[in-house]
């Protein structure tokens, strides 16, 4: 899914918009160009699927793919206008007649038979047998569930004062059991211990109750100013997913991070080896692991951050960061603001559909100065 997003977004960028674009048909030309690629790879008689994993691992399109799509987009832009039997290109592009004319056109056939294009298709293809083997290997991999550690990161990032203030402001509305559980949460934050699933559910229910009945309380609570734990966990999860996708050894790959951390003078470098062993057994890191590993960020020893919106992990902590920044700048509509808040505070689960919408809002925030 991520590779498809990278591919689509990159093609939109190559096509451009406004004065510097190839034309006014981006919404038509981009999906048609991707369809052409599919027709000559996954959908061809040779049945050689395009290996999206290579894009996912690189996190971008390599120069040869960019060059290929630049030429294909330019060609497709001209062909849509040539073969459309209506001046309303957008509407006519929905008709199967246009696609049939394009895919069977001599221009496309000649373009896709060029030597450099054939070499490129061969480079980025994967045999059906290898693809099936990859899927089989992935199915055998013990899946790591990061949900609980993400919730712990949100709670620990909120900090002790956050929950102290909730207890004080809502003293008359909380019963003895609630207050006791809040005290336990504060103790866990102080001692850098993981909250168990019962406490995690209690905290989520508490926040939802406040949002539903006393939303004004949030205006009195301290804002999260340091998202380093969330950034650290995102980094760990992303590296883990890349290692699994590339079928590499988790321990040896995390050992490379540890050696880099040592060379930069980071403390607690052994935490990367410890996390690798846990991940290899299908276990997620604990909060103390994330805290120790955050030195990789606080000492500025991490890789440069990329501002590619399609690559950002939409964790609850990141969504809360978006929501709190937007509450100050108010660049979204009231409806959009409420929509974002529902996911930022765990009131709704993010589906692929919602993630697509959230990334649109994120793009709006970034264009208005939000830093990712």
pLDDT tens, position by position, for the chain (372 residues)? 567 888 888 899 898 888 878 988 888 999 999 999 998 888 776 667 888 888 876 778 888 999 999 999 999 999 999 988 888 887 888 888 989 999 999 999 999 999 999 999 989 888 878 777 766 766 666 678 898 999 999 999 999 999 999 999 999 999 999 999 999 999 999 999 999 999 999 998 998 888 888 888 888 888 776 688 988 998 899 888 888 877 788 888 999 999 988 888 888 899 999 999 999 888 999 999 999 999 887 654 444 444 567 778 787 778 888 887 887 788 899 889 888 888 887 767 788 788 888 999 999 998 888 887
Residues 244 and 197 in one domain: no
**Nearest 5°: phi and psi at 50?**
-75, 130
CA separation (Å) from 227 to 39, 179, 275?
Answer: 44, 27, 20
Cβ within 8 Å of residue 338, ≥6 positions away: none
- Residue whose token pair is 């590619």: 308
Q: Is the dihedral of CA 169, 174, 178, 179 positive or negative?
A: positive
- Classify residue 96: in a domain, yes or no: yes
Q: Which two tokens stand for residue 179?
A: 């207050």
| Residue 155 located in a structural domain | no
Please report, for residues 210, 211, 215, the alpha-carbon distance to residue 174 in angstroms, rounded to integers and kept in the order given.
11, 15, 15
Say if 194 falls within a structural domain: yes
Residues 192 and 287 in one domain: no
- Structural domains in the chain (count): 4
Q: Write down which residue in 174, 193, 220 finishes a domain.
A: 220
| 326 and 271 share one domain | no
Residue 42 within a domain:
yes
- Same domain for 66 and 125? yes
Q: Round to whole Å and give the CA distance between 188 and 221.
A: 19
Please report whether residue 149 resides in a domain.
no
* CB neighbourhood size of 248 (10 A): 12
Degrees, nearest 5: CA angle 175-180-186:
130
Task: Kindly report the pTM of this predicted structure.
Answer: 0.57
Same domain, 49 and 103: yes
Task: Write the DSSP string, 108-148.
Answer: HHHHHTSHHHHHHHHHTB--HHHHHHHHHHHHHSPPP--HH
Query: Among residues 181, 201, 220, which one ends one of the domains?
Result: 220
The parent domain of residue 282 ranges over 228-303
The verdict on 260 and 241 lying in the same domain is yes
* 9 and 75 inside one domain: yes
152 domain-assigned: no
CB 192 within 8 A of CB 288: yes
Return the residue matching tokens 């690629």.
Answer: 37
Whether residue 9 is found in the same domain as residue 136: yes
In-domain check, residue 146:
no
CA distances from 222 to 165, 294, 324 (A): 8, 22, 11
Q: How far apart are CA 275 and CA 271, in angstroms?
A: 6
Distance, in Å, from the CA atom of 231 to the CA atom of 10, rounded to the nearest integer, reads 24
- Considering the domain architecture, whether residues 8 and 54 belong to the same structural domain is answered as yes
DSSP three-state, residue 65: helix
Domain boundary among 220, 244, 271: 220
Same domain, residue pair 31 and 125: yes
d(CA 346, CA 314): 12
Q: Note whether 341 and 299 are same-domain residues.
A: no
Same domain assignment for residues 9 and 130 = yes
Strand partners, 50: 125
């Amino acid at each position: 899914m991520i590779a498809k997003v990278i591919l689509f977004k990159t093609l939109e960028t190559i096509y451009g918009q406004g004065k510097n674009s190839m034309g006014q048909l981006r919404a038509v030309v981009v999906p048609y160009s991707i369809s052409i690629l599919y027709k000559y790879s996954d959908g061809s008689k040779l049945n050689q699927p395009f290996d999206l994993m290579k894009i996912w691992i690189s996190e971008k399109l390599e120069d040869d793919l960019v060059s290929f799509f630049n030429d294909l987009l330019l060609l497709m832009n001209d062909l849509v206008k040539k073969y459309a039997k209506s001046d309303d290109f957008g509407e006519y592009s929905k008709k199967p007649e246009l696609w049939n004319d394009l895919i069977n056109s001599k221009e496309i056939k000649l373009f896709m038979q060029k030597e450099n294009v054939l070499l490129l298709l061969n480079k980025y293809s994967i045999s059906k047998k290898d693809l099936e083997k990859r899927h089989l290997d992935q199915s055998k991999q013990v899946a790591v569930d990061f949900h609980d550690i993400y919730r712990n990161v949100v709670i620990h990032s909120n900090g002790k004062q956050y929950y102290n203030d909730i207890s004080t402001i809502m003293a008359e509305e909380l019963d003895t059991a609630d207050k006791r559980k809040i005290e336990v949460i504060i103790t866990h934050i102080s001692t850098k211990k993981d909250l168990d699933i019962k406490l995690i559910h209690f905290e989520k229910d508490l926040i939802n109750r406040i949002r539903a009945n006393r939303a004004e309380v949030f205006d009195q609570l301290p804002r999260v100013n340091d998202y380093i734990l969330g950034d650290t966990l995102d980094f760990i999860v992303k590296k883990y997913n890349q290692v699994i996708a590339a079928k590499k050894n988790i321990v040896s790959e995390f050992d490379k991070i540890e050696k880099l951390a040592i060379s930069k003078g980071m403390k607690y470098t052994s935490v990367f080896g410890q996390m690798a062993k846990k991940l290899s057994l299908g276990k997620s890191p604990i909060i103390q692991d994330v805290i120790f590993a955050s030195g990789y960020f606080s000492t500025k020893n991490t890789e440069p951050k990329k501002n590619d919106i399609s690559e950002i992990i939409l964790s609850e902590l990141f969504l809360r960061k978006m929501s709190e920044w937007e509450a100050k700048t108010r660049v979204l509509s009231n409806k959009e603001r409420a929509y974002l808040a529902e996911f930022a505070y765990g009131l709704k689960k993010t589906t692929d559909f919602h993630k697509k919408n959230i990334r649109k809002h994120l793009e709006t925030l970034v264009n208005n100065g939000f830093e990712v």
